[in-house]
Structure 1
Amino acid sequence: MQAEQARLAIDCGGATTTAVLAWPDGTWRPLLFDGEPELPSAVLLTPAGDTLTGHRAWQAATSTPDRFVPAPRHSPEQQRLSIADTEVDVLDLIAATLRRVAEQAQITGGLPVEDVRLVVPAGWGPRRRTRLRHAAHRAGLAQPRLIEAPIAVAGHLLATGAQLPVGSFIAVCDVGAGAEVSVLRRGSAGFEVLATLADPAAGGTTIDDALTAALATPGSASSGDGARWGLLASVRAAKHALADRAAVTVPLPDTSAVVLTTAVLHEVARPVLDRVAHLVKETIAAAEISVHDLAGVYCVGGVARLPLLTEVLTEALGVTPIVVADPAMAAVRGAADAGAAGPGPVAAPPEVPVPPVRRAAAIAVPGFVSLGLISQFLLTPEWHGSLMYQEALLNWGELAMAAVFALIAALGAGTVLASTLAARNTPGNAPMGSAGSQTGTGILASASLGVAVAGMYAVVGSLYIGYPANGFLRWALLPIAPTVAVAAVMALIAVRQWRVPVGGWSQLLAFPTGTVITAGAGMALIQYSLVADRWPHLVLWIDLAGRVGGLLLGVGTVLAVVRQPILRLILGAPLTVITAALVSWQATGILGVIYAIAVAVWWLRQLWSELLRPDIPARPLR
Structure 2
Amino acid sequence: MPPYHGRVVSRGFRLGVDFGTSNTVAALRWPDGRVRPLLFDGSPLLPSAVFVEPDGRISVGQPAVHAARSHPERFEPHPKRCIDDAAVLFGPASAGGVPSAVPVPELIAAVLGRVAEEAARTAGAPIPSAVVTYPAAWGTARRNILLAAGSAVFPEVSLVPEPVAAASHFVAVRGGAVPVGASLMVYDLGAGTLDVSVVRRTVGGFEVLATGGLADVGGLDIDAAMVAYLGTIYAGRDAAAWARLSQPADPEAQRLSRILWDDVRAGKEILSRSTSVLVHVPIVNDDVPFGRELLEELAEPILARTVEVASAVLRDAGVRAVDLVGLYLVGGASRIPLVTTLLHRGLGIPPVTVEQPQLVVAEGSLHVGEPDRGRPGPAPVPQSPKPSPSPASAPAPASGQTGQTGSARPDIRVWRRRLAISGGLVLAVGAAVVALPLLRDPPDGRSAGDEGDGTGTVARSIDTCLIGTWQETHSVLEGRGEGPAVRRTGPGVVYRFWPTGRVMLDYGDSTTWTGEESGRGYEVVVSGWIEGTATTENGTLTLRDVRASGRLIGRVDGEVVNDASLPETDGSLDYRCSGDSLAIWNSAQMVTAKRVSDDPDTDA
Letter in 2 for 1:122: A
| TM, length-normalised to structure 2 | 0.53
- Aligned partner of 2:343 in structure 1 is 313
* Alignment of 1:258 onto 2:287: yes
Letter in 2 for 1:134: A
Q: CA deviation at 1:102?
A: 0.4
The aligned runs of 1:93-492 (5 Å cut-off) are: 93-138=107-152, 140-160=153-173, 161-176=175-190, 177-216=192-231, 217=235, 218-220=242-244, 226=254, 228-259=257-288, 260-337=290-367, 345-347=368-370
- 1:160-185 C-alpha deviation (Å, 9 max, x unpaired): 21111222111010111211111111
Q: CA deviation at 1:9?
A: 0.5
* Alignment of 1:59 onto 2:66: yes
The aligned runs of 1:70-85 (5 Å cut-off) are: 70-85=77-92
Q: Distance in 2 between matches of 1:251 and 1:68?
A: 27
Q: Is the 8 A contact 1:58 1:229 kept in 2?
A: no
Q: Is the 8 A contact 2:172 2:372 kept in 1?
A: no
- Aligned partner of 1:551 in structure 2 is none
Following TM superposition, where does structure 1 have runs of at least 4 consecutive aligned residues deviating by more than 4 angstroms? 221-225, 227-230, 347-351
- Aligned partner of 1:561 in structure 2 is none
Q: Distance in 1 between matches of 2:230 and 2:68?
A: 19
Q: Is the 8 A contact 2:322 2:348 kept in 1?
A: no
The structure 2 residue matched to 1:9, chosen from 11, 16, 19, is 16
Structure 1: gaps spanning 5 or more residues: 338-344, 352-622
Q: Distance in 2 between matches of 1:214 and 1:67?
A: 30
Q: Distance in 1 between matches of 2:90 and 2:10?
A: 37
- Aligned partner of 2:528 in structure 1 is none
Q: Distance in 2 between matches of 1:199 and 1:77?
A: 17
- Aligned partner of 2:473 in structure 1 is none
Q: Distance in 2 between matches of 1:48 and 1:348?
A: 49
Q: Distance in 2 between matches of 1:234 and 1:72?
A: 25
Q: Distance in 1 between matches of 2:24 and 2:81?
A: 13
More strand by share: 2
> Are the structure 2 counterparts of residues 234 and 84 from structure 1 closer, same or farther at C-alpha, using a change threshold of 3 Å?
farther
Q: Distance in 1 between matches of 2:69 and 2:294?
A: 26
More helix by share: 1
* Alignment of 1:43 onto 2:70: no
Q: Distance in 2 between matches of 1:242 and 1:270?
A: 15
> Are the structure 2 counterparts of residues 63 and 256 from structure 1 closer, same or farther at C-alpha, using a change threshold of 3 Å?
farther
C-alpha RMSD over aligned residues: 2.6
Q: Distance in 1 between matches of 2:106 and 2:248?
A: 22
Q: Distance in 1 between matches of 2:10 and 2:122?
A: 9
**Equivalences, count:** 342
> Are the structure 2 counterparts of residues 221 and 66 from structure 1 closer, same or farther at C-alpha, using a change threshold of 3 Å?
farther
- 1:540-578 C-alpha deviation (Å, 9 max, x unpaired): xxxxxxxxxxxxxxxxxxxxxxxxxxxxxxxxxxxxxxx
Q: Is the 8 A contact 1:121 1:149 kept in 2?
A: yes
Letter in 2 for 1:147: V
Q: CA deviation at 1:158?
A: 1.2
> Are the structure 2 counterparts of residues 44 and 251 from structure 1 closer, same or farther at C-alpha, using a change threshold of 3 Å?
farther
Q: Distance in 2 between matches of 1:207 and 1:304?
A: 12
> Are the structure 2 counterparts of residues 50 and 19 from structure 1 closer, same or farther at C-alpha, using a change threshold of 3 Å?
same
Q: Is the 8 A contact 2:68 2:75 kept in 1?
A: yes
- 1:406-428 C-alpha deviation (Å, 9 max, x unpaired): xxxxxxxxxxxxxxxxxxxxxxx
Letter in 2 for 1:150: P
Q: Distance in 2 between matches of 1:252 and 1:46?
A: 32
Q: Is the 8 A contact 2:51 2:60 kept in 1?
A: yes
Letter in 2 for 1:283: V
Q: Is the 8 A contact 1:6 1:21 kept in 2?
A: yes
Letter in 2 for 1:95: A
Q: Distance in 2 between matches of 1:46 and 1:145?
A: 30
- 1:287-333 C-alpha deviation (Å, 9 max, x unpaired): 11211111111110011111110011111111211113421111111
Q: Is the 8 A contact 2:135 2:162 kept in 1?
A: yes
> Are the structure 2 counterparts of residues 126 and 66 from structure 1 closer, same or farther at C-alpha, using a change threshold of 3 Å?
same
Q: Is the 8 A contact 1:61 1:230 kept in 2?
A: no
Q: Distance in 2 between matches of 1:252 and 1:52?
A: 30
Q: Is the 8 A contact 2:204 2:369 kept in 1?
A: no
Q: CA deviation at 1:14?
A: 0.6
Q: Which has the higher contact order (CA 8 A, sep 6+)?
A: 1
- Aligned partner of 1:371 in structure 2 is none
Q: CA deviation at 1:24?
A: 4.0
> Are the structure 2 counterparts of residues 78 and 238 from structure 1 closer, same or farther at C-alpha, using a change threshold of 3 Å?
farther
> Are the structure 2 counterparts of residues 72 and 264 from structure 1 closer, same or farther at C-alpha, using a change threshold of 3 Å?
farther
> Are the structure 2 counterparts of residues 83 and 268 from structure 1 closer, same or farther at C-alpha, using a change threshold of 3 Å?
farther
Q: CA deviation at 1:121?
A: 0.9
Letter in 2 for 1:313: L
The structure 2 residue matched to 1:25, chosen from 32, 36, 39, is 32
Q: Distance in 2 between matches of 1:173 and 1:224?
A: 35
Q: CA deviation at 1:231?
A: 3.4
Q: Is the 8 A contact 2:129 2:155 kept in 1?
A: yes
> Are the structure 2 counterparts of residues 83 and 69 from structure 1 closer, same or farther at C-alpha, using a change threshold of 3 Å?
same
> Are the structure 2 counterparts of residues 236 and 346 from structure 1 closer, same or farther at C-alpha, using a change threshold of 3 Å?
farther
- Aligned partner of 2:594 in structure 1 is none
- 1:325-361 C-alpha deviation (Å, 9 max, x unpaired): 4211111111112xxxxxxx5245999xxxxxxxxxx
Q: Is the 8 A contact 2:50 2:77 kept in 1?
A: yes
> Are the structure 2 counterparts of residues 74 and 209 from structure 1 closer, same or farther at C-alpha, using a change threshold of 3 Å?
farther
Q: Distance in 2 between matches of 1:285 and 1:264?
A: 32
- 1:124-168 C-alpha deviation (Å, 9 max, x unpaired): 111111111222234x22231001111111111111211112221
Larger Cα-atom Rg: 1
Q: Is the 8 A contact 2:48 2:111 kept in 1?
A: yes
> Are the structure 2 counterparts of residues 303 and 75 from structure 1 closer, same or farther at C-alpha, using a change threshold of 3 Å?
same
Q: Distance in 1 between matches of 2:162 and 2:125?
A: 27
Look up the SS of the partner of 1:58 in the other structure: helix
Look up the SS of the partner of 2:283 in the other structure: coil
Letter in 2 for 1:132: L
Q: CA deviation at 1:224?
A: 7.8
Q: CA deviation at 1:12?
A: 0.8
> Are the structure 2 counterparts of residues 333 and 253 from structure 1 closer, same or farther at C-alpha, using a change threshold of 3 Å?
same
The aligned runs of 1:542-553 (5 Å cut-off) are: none
| TM, length-normalised to structure 1 | 0.52
Q: Distance in 1 between matches of 2:248 and 2:111?
A: 22
Letter in 2 for 1:22: R
- Identity between Structure 1 and Structure 2 (%): 37
Q: Distance in 2 between matches of 1:292 and 1:261?
A: 34
Q: CA deviation at 1:234?
A: 3.3
Letter in 2 for 1:346: G
Q: Is the 8 A contact 1:298 1:323 kept in 2?
A: yes
Q: Distance in 1 between matches of 2:273 and 2:106?
A: 37
Letter in 1 for 2:269: H
